[in-house]
Structure formats: C-alpha cells, structure tokens
Amino acid sequence: MDLFRKKDINVLLARQSPLKRTLKTFDLTLLGIGAIIGTGIFVLTGKGALTAGPALALSFVIAAICCGFAGLCYAEFASMAPVAGSAYTYSYISFGEIIAFIIGWDLILEYALGAATVGAGWSGYFVNFVGNLGWHIPKVLTAAAGTTPGVTTYFNLPAFAIIILITSIIAMGINQTKHLNDIMVTIKVSVIIIFIAATVWFVHAKNWQPFSPYGWYSFHKGTASGIIPGASIVFFSFIGFDSVSSSAEETINPRKTLPRGILYSLLIASVLYVAMTLVMTGVVKYTVFAKFLDAPILAVLAKTGQGWLSMLVSLGAILGMTTVILVQLYGQSRITYSMSRDGLFPKFFGEISLRHQTPYKGTWFFGITTAIVSGFINLNILSELVNIGTLTAFILVSAGILWMRKKHPELHRGFKAPGVPFTPIIAIAFCLLLVVGLNWETWIRFIVWFAIGMCIYFGYARKHSLMNQETK
C-alpha cells in the first residue's frame, strides 16, 4: 500500500463543491485580519515583552517576515489549487497521503487548541468588561481548575459559552459568518487605531532602554528569553492567515482573490502589531507587564490615566478575540470536511447540510469539543503546541512550492510567488529558527499528539481512504 500516493490536482479542480461561493477579496482580507489580530495585541503582548523587552517589536517583525515568505507560498498554492483544505490539500498534492494526514492532524491541533486558548483569554476580558458594568460572574466559573494560583476555580463558563455561540453561527452558513466577521473586524481595527492615537503622546524613550535586555537568545531565570524566543511566542499571533486558504471553495474567483486576501491581511496586521508594541513598551516599562499578563493593555491605561479608553479597549479586545475564535473554528471545520471527503475521517464530518450549505455535524462536533477543552483545561502550558503545529505546516507548504515548480511547472497558473526558489527556502529557514525557540516540553507534547495521529491513520484512515478504494 503506497503511503505517499498523491492527489491529482486536475481531478480536484474538476470536482463540484457543494459549498456556497460568496467571499470576495474584501471579505477574505477581513477574514485574515480577524484571525491574526486579537490574541497577539490583547493577550500575548505582555508575555512577549517580558521575554524580549522592548525588542518585542523586532520579534514581531521576524515573525511577520517568516509568515510573509510562507504567505507567498500559500498564495501560490491557493491560486494553483483553489480547493478547501489549506496545507492539508497542498501536502496531498505535493508529498502524498500520509504527509497530508500528518499536516491535517496538526492543523486540527492548531485550530482547536488555538480557539480554546483564545477563548480562555476572551473570558478574562469579558469578565472585566461586565464587572465594570456592575455584573459579576462567580469567580469559580471564570477559569479552569488550577489556572490561577491561590484562586479556586472549576469551570470557564464565558469561554465555553462564546465558543458554543460562534459554532452556532458558523454552522448556520458562510453569509452569516462573513457578515459578523466583517462588522467585528471593522470595529476592532478602529479601536486599535484610536488607542494608538490616544497613547502615543505618553511614550518615553527611556522605557525602551535597554531595548534588547536579553539579546537575540539567552536564558533568564531558567527560561529561554530574547528576540528569537519572543518571535516564537508572538508567532501565534500570525497563524490565522492560513485559514483564509481554507475558504477556497466558498470564494468567488479564488485564483485572484485568495492570494490577495492572504497577503493584504498579513501586511495590515504586521503594521498594526509593530506600532502597538512600540507604543505599549514606550508608555510602560516592560517589566511592569508581569502584573498584567492577562490584560497587558490595562497597564498602559493605568499609566496614562485615560480611564475613558478602558471600556472601549475592553470592547475592542472582546471583539478582536471573538473574530480569532470564529476564523479558527471556521478553518477547523473546513479541514476536517476535506479530510472526511477524502475518506481519512469518518463521513460524519463531511456531511453537508442542504439547508445551510455547511459541514453542519462536523462543525458542531468540534465546536462542542473545543468549548469543553476551553472550559475545563488549563491551557497555559499547551498554547505553544499551536505554534509548532503551524510551523510544520508552513515548512511543508513552502517545500511543496519547490517540489511543484520542479515537477509540475505547467500547473502554475495565476499568482506566482516571486523569488522562487529563494522565497520558500527563506520561509523554511525562518520556520526552523522559530522552532528552535520553543521549549523542549513543547516537543514532547507534540510527539505525543503525532503518535495519536499515527494510530488513527494506520487504524482507520489508510483503510478508508478513497484513494485506497480507487486502487483496488
């Protein structure tokens, strides 16, 4: 049995999709921004600043460059093979079934754990927001057990509830998903611009000294610190753009609009991240963020005394993280739909609702599972797993461009990544650099996840693969 049998791209392109095509370049750009801008600005900035100091701005630049080169490779693949599945489908075309399954399994980890982690962060801002309005949620229902030292908690009710709510919207149809995302992204970007404009006047250059207290890479208090480890942390902020390519079968004229949506969203998000980081570390000494890890922007508001911005920023943070959850759950449902359609997952996950034109059952299954994880499990030690899974996907997509350019040059229609072979090689090098910045515990957990995936592949997927049936 050939574990590396490949999908014929022409067969994929000839397949009629039951999904509804409605997304345009504007929608895809906002979909990408919706996924990218959220956790990075509203949650990870504090942890990143403690890791890299004010040089966190450089960490964001490195992560953005890495994603930029990888984004060019994604854009070419999206133009060449505009079908659902993102890196999973691209790997199936380039490297074969088992590699595709591995990357699909990694993407499930990326989207599910990413949505659950962001849901936990969303909960913190939501509790603070409604608290200012005089509504108080019992402390025991604001976080998973063991999340906050010295505080008794059992269940993260807000995180559970928001994931269930978003799942219901995604299951209803792509138009509902698109309109909700467009509105929330417009509001949150406006909030970020207002925040920067209002606080930039309080920047003091002395707070940027020393600019890079831990250098490029060092160990501080037994933890990897510096610009490179900081980039490995904030890389989590950029992973959303790959979910744009999951929408290929719901996009109008995907050969043109998908590349544009991927690259536009990356560019806009990168500019906002760097500007926001410089302002925050310029207003507040980076060490102060140790007291504001869950909501680092509140440290800036406390320093400037601009109380009027507090509610606005909290609303922007809530909407920002809501769109991240929405796009990640959306991307996850399309990955599992593609794997189910290929026979690597049970048919249940690929069944399309005629009424909603969405993979209704699969969307609800993973939405409920993600909500349970976010509600009951302490995700602080698991968030970096999202990074390593995504980096693996980026490496394979970039390598896939090298392979496809060499073996199938006739297929490269539409957008072409400039500078090949250097562009994918640089993307791979940057991804490997960021992998080095991850802790060894992350590798152990990743290996465990990989082993579970291999059990599923050899126990179920390879026997039920449609390609296996075609070769009989």
Give the residue extent of every domain in the chain: 19-470
Token pair in block for residue 421:
């072979």
Task: Return left, alpha or beta for 361; rule: phi > 0 is left, psi -120 to 50 is alpha, else beta.
Answer: alpha
| pLDDT digits 0-9 by tens, 239-265 | 777 778 888 788 888 878 888 888 899
Report the pLDDT value the prediction gives residue 275, as an integer from 0 to 100. 92
Q: What percent of the chain has pLDDT over 90?
A: 18
CA distance between the termini of the chain: 10
Residue 155: alpha-carbon gap to chain centroid: 24
Lowest-confidence region among 329-333, 396-400, 405-409:
405-409
Q: Residue 472 above 60 pLDDT?
A: no
- Cα 30 to Cα 178: distance, rounded to the nearest angstrom: 9
Q: What percent of the chain has pLDDT over 70?
A: 94
Query: Which residue has tokens 């990168």?
Result: 270
Q: Residue 168 above 90 pLDDT?
A: yes
State if pTM tops 0.75: yes
Token pair in block for residue 180:
């909700």
Beta bridge partners of 246: none
| Residue 457 contacts residue 434 (beta carbons within 8 Å) | no
- Cα 48 to Cα 232: distance, rounded to the nearest angstrom: 9
* Cis amide bond preceding 254, omega within 30: no
Q: Which fold has domain 19-470?
A: Amino acid/polyamine transporter I (1.20.1740)
Q: State which amino acid sits at residue 333.
A: S
Distant-in-sequence, close-in-space partners of 202: CB < 8 Å, separation ≥ 6: 282, 283, 303, 304
Q: Residue 460 above 90 pLDDT?
A: yes
- The better pLDDT of the pair 101, 9 is held by 101
| Residue 374 contacts residue 158 (beta carbons within 8 Å) | no
| pLDDT digits 0-9 by tens, 323-359 | 889 988 998 888 999 999 999 999 988 888 888 888 8
Q: Residue 177 above 60 pLDDT?
A: yes
| pLDDT digits 0-9 by tens, 427-440 | 898 888 777 767 77
